[in-house]
Amino acid sequence: MRRLVATGPALIVLLTAVLVAWLTPGVVGRAGYHATSARITLAQQTLDDTSILDQLNAAYMSVAEAVGPSVVHLQVRGMGEGSTGSGWVFDDKGHIVTNAHVVAGSVRVRVEFDTGRQTEAEVIGVDPFTDIAVLKADPGAGLFPARRATGHIPRQGQMVFAFGSPFGFKFSMSKGVISGLGREPLSLASYGGYTNFIQTDAAVNPGNSGGPLTDHKGRVIGMTVAIATGRDTQGTIEGQSAGISFAIPLATIESVVPQIINTGEVRRGFLGIAMAQGASAVIEQADFRGSGVLVSSVEEGSPAASGGLRSADVIVKVNGQHTPTSAVLRAAISSIAPEEKINLSVFRQDKFLDISVVLAEFERDRLVGNELIQALVRTGLAFGEDPEGHLEIARARGFAASVLELREGMRVTAIDGRGVASIEEAHQTLFNAGFLSGGRISMRVQTTDENGSRAFRDLVVRTPPRNLPFNRR
C-alpha cells in the first residue's frame, strides 16, 4: 500500500502533463488563427472605409482614360528590317510626334490607334539633333490630341506616367516619379547633340520610344527616348528597364514640332557666349544652393552682349529651368527658336540678376558640321580627297571597317543616289539622308584590285547602334 500511495501522485502529474501537452497546440493554434482572422477583418474594414486609396486608384484610371486615346503604336518597315515604337497625337489634323530614331531609314510607317484602326503615315520632318520626328496620318472620323502641360516646369519628385508599346505590348502604362532633371547621359549626348533629359524611374522598355510621359493630370510633359541599365551608368544600352529612363522635355518638343509642321526645318537660338570648360560653378547662398554655367567670354554684337551678360557671370536658369552644366545650357538655348525672348537668372558678384535676351539664329551649316563630324568619328569614318581631287574614304576604322566593310582609299561617287564630289557635299548629303538619326544610307564606291581593275560596289552606311530602345524584330 505504501508503494501505491507513494507512486499515485506522480502518476497523476504525469498523466496531466501528457494531456496538457496534447491539448495545448490545438488551443494555441486556434487562438492564433482567431487573432490573425481579426487582423484581416480589421484591415479589410479599414481599406473599405478609407477614401484616400479609392481616390488615388480612381485618379490612376482617369489618367489612363484621358491619355490612352492619344497614344499610337507604330510599325516601321525599312530596308529589309522591321521595328515597332510609340507616338502620340499632337493635333487634330493628324500630326503625330515620335522619336527620329524610331522612323530612321523607314520606307513605310503604319499607325495604330487605341481603337484598333490602322492607317499609313508619312514622315513629314525629322530633327536629328533633338531626336524628334513628325508624322502625318489620316485623321479619319477625328483624333484626340494629347493635352500638354505647356508652361509648367517639371520638378524632381513629381509623379509621372509613361505610355507606349514595351516589347510590342501595345498601349501600356507605367507609373513613377521624376528622378532628376537636366540629365546628360553620354551616349545620348553624342547621339544627336541634344542633352537636357528628364530622368524617371517609370518602367520603360524597348518599344516605349516616342511615347508620351505625362503628369498626374494626364498632361504631356515629355517624350520617352531611352533607357539605361546597370551595365553603363554613364550611357544607355538596349535592355530591360532598370529604373532609369530618359525623356525629352515638352518645352523642346513644342519648339521643334511646330517648326517642322510649318516649314519643314528647325531654326535654333543663338546666345553668343563661350562657356568655361570643366566643372560647373557652385553657388552657396541663403536663397540658392546649386550650380550654374560660368561665362568665360561674351561675343561682341551678340544677343548676350546686347542683353548685358558679362564675362564671369554664372547662368543658373533659362526661363525658370535650372542649367547646371554647359551641355544643358547649350541644349536649352538651341531648343528655343530665334527671335524669341528668354529670361536668364544670372549670379554676379554675390547677387542674382534677371536678364532678358532676344536670341539670334544659330548658323545651320556650323551646327550640321559639328554634329556630323562627331557622328563620323563614332563610326570610324572620314572623307578626304586623293591626289587627283576625287572624294575618297580617308579613314575607315572600327565600325566602318568591320561592319560597313569600308576601306581606306575607296573612291566615293554617290551617296543616297546623289553624285558627290567634295567633302562638304558628302557631309550635307549624309545629313539630309538621316545619318544622325541612324538611317541606313546607300553609298556607291569604286574599288581597285591588285591588277588595277576598277569596279563599283553599293554599300550601306549608318552610325553604330546607339543602343536606344528600337525593339528591332
- Of residues 106, 130, 132, the one with CA closest to residue 120: 106
Q: How far apart are the first and last CA of the chain?
A: 96
Distance separating alpha carbons of residues 87 and 67, to the nearest angstrom? 12
What pairs with residue 173 in β-bridges? 163
User: Quick check: is 335 catalytic?
Assistant: no
3-state helix, strand, coil in the chain (%, to 5): 30, 35, 35
Q: How far is CA 12 from CA 15, 24, 25, 174, 342, in A?
A: 5, 18, 21, 68, 96
Task: Supply 372's cell numbers.
Answer: 556630323
Sign of the C-alpha dihedral computed for residues 182, 183, 186 and 187 taken in this order: negative
What pairs with residue 367 in β-bridges? none
User: Quick check: is 326 catalytic?
Assistant: no
User: Quick check: is 101 catalytic?
Assistant: yes
Task: Give the number of other CB atoms < 10 A from CB of residue 233.
Answer: 12
Q: Render the burial of 303-317: b for 16+ CB within 10 Å, e for the rest.
A: bbbebebeeebbbbb
Distance separating alpha carbons of residues 451 and 431, to the nearest angstrom? 36
Catalytic residue among 172, 209, 241, 437: 209
Q: How far is CA 162 from CA 65, 188, 200, 238, 381, in A?
A: 14, 19, 9, 18, 37
Helices (H), ranges, 264-312 = 303-307
CB burial class (10 A; 0-12, 13-18, 19+) of residue 50? exposed
- Provide the residue type at 209 as one letter: S
Catalytic residue among 73, 95, 101, 322: 101
Task: Supply 195's cell numbers.
Answer: 542633352
Catalytic residue among 127, 131, 201, 313: 131
Q: How far is CA 108 from CA 18, 80, 90, 103, 190, in A?
A: 83, 11, 20, 9, 27
Residues with catalytic function? 101, 131, 209
